[in-house]
Structure 1
């Protein structure tokens, strides 16, 4: 999965962006200021960046300028509250590949990053996850395993059976054998959070599960189910 460095100083927005980008399959390094960027940025590993411009210790535009002057081919999306045309023009002039204003639909950010990934030939390699539904075991691409509860196994069966496609919340609830009209959907949110944490703790890898805002989920990489 592509490695991405995210520079955002506002804590709530930083966590929202981190979660959103991780759901899309990026390995995200989150930093909050220019000093943190300087410490964390690894040119040989990070090939994409989402950069705020108004920062507590300087201007993100100067960072973009410095990176381009050093010959960096980093794919850069400026993500900022500065929305005036003259500011956008300056951002592009200094080397931003895309310039988005905060408040835009985050799907626009995802599309900009996907376009950059294609141009830079960074498309993630398919990684197969194997679910043994009888033994209730999930085997990750690194060969580590996570043992699953019965309900978690049912959820993953439904999602992995439609790998690459969107699965609605109602479809998941019904796969659990529950009545959609009486089911408290907060239970599903809690279960998905617990499942993600269990898989991360057991395998060291993030579950490749994209959240579809209030609509459902997508298991976005290749999968194999043995039942």
Structure 2
């Protein structure tokens, strides 16, 4: 999943970028409203985390411009403005969530996961294919034999495939979802991640198939 973080407090922005990156999210970070508007108009994001007190253009103006161009990315407002009228204004302009500073990191992570689940159109908190269950809240994989631990990038790829189980996920979508503008992901690297996931999942009734020349998909028919 790809996230744009718009935060002018640079130490906070750096900390949140690191936190989200460690969870396998691709994060592009900007520090003013004008840059956020340019980046948002040229790139696709699943979630925008948006401060309100920004240089050059305030966060509500950025949000208004997003919705005016039919940008359907989920938006979490992250701000020190906590008055009820501020919350109402942000939500009325199209924000999906509103978290005030200072905040608890675990709550922040939970809200991010919740917004990304809703963006993917998922109602259940767990997805099961074969003998493997993926908990979208804890982002943990379990089997009857126990849990499966994955590196962050493999976990992000598997989450993308699980949330689209039965549908082909193109290589282009994988690159867009798993990388920021400062990152890259070659076809060879994707194939390596897929190969590792196949080895981990095949003993548990999960088949990760290749749609030649297009991408990859998890076949629900392989359920044990």
Structure 2-normalised TM-score? 0.54
Q: SS of 2:102's equivalent?
A: coil
Residue 163 (1) aligns with residue 149 (2): yes
**1:95 matched residue in structure 2:** 94
Q: SS of 1:55's equivalent?
A: coil
CA separation of 1:66 and 1:40: change in aligned 2, threshold 3 A: closer
How far residue 38 of structure 1 moved from its aligned partner, in angstroms, is 2.8
Deviations 1:138-184 (A, max 9, x none): xxxxxxxxxxxxxxxxxxxxxxx8516xxxxxxxxxxxxxxxxxxxx
**1:21 matched residue in structure 2:** 20
Question: 2-side partners of 1:44 and 1:57: how far apart?
Answer: 20
Task: State which structure, 1 or 2, has the greater radius of gyration over its C-alpha atoms.
Answer: 1
Residue 65 (1) aligns with residue 64 (2): yes
Question: 2-side partners of 1:93 and 1:44: how far apart?
Answer: 24
Runs (4+) of structure 1 moved beyond 6 Å? none
Question: 1-side partners of 2:2 and 2:99: how far apart?
Answer: 20
Alignment of 1:26-175 (within 5 A): 26-41=25-40, 45-121=44-120, 163=149
How far residue 39 of structure 1 moved from its aligned partner, in angstroms, is 3.3
Question: 2-side partners of 1:81 and 1:99: how far apart?
Answer: 10
Structure 1-normalised TM-score? 0.53
Q: SS of 1:67's equivalent?
A: helix
Question: 2-side partners of 1:8 and 1:29: how far apart?
Answer: 11
Question: 1-side partners of 2:2 and 2:34: how far apart?
Answer: 19
Q: Number of aligned residue pairs: give it.
A: 138
Question: 1-side partners of 2:121 and 2:4: how far apart?
Answer: 14
CA separation of 1:12 and 1:44: change in aligned 2, threshold 3 A: closer
**1:5 matched residue in structure 2:** 4
**1:145 matched residue in structure 2:** none
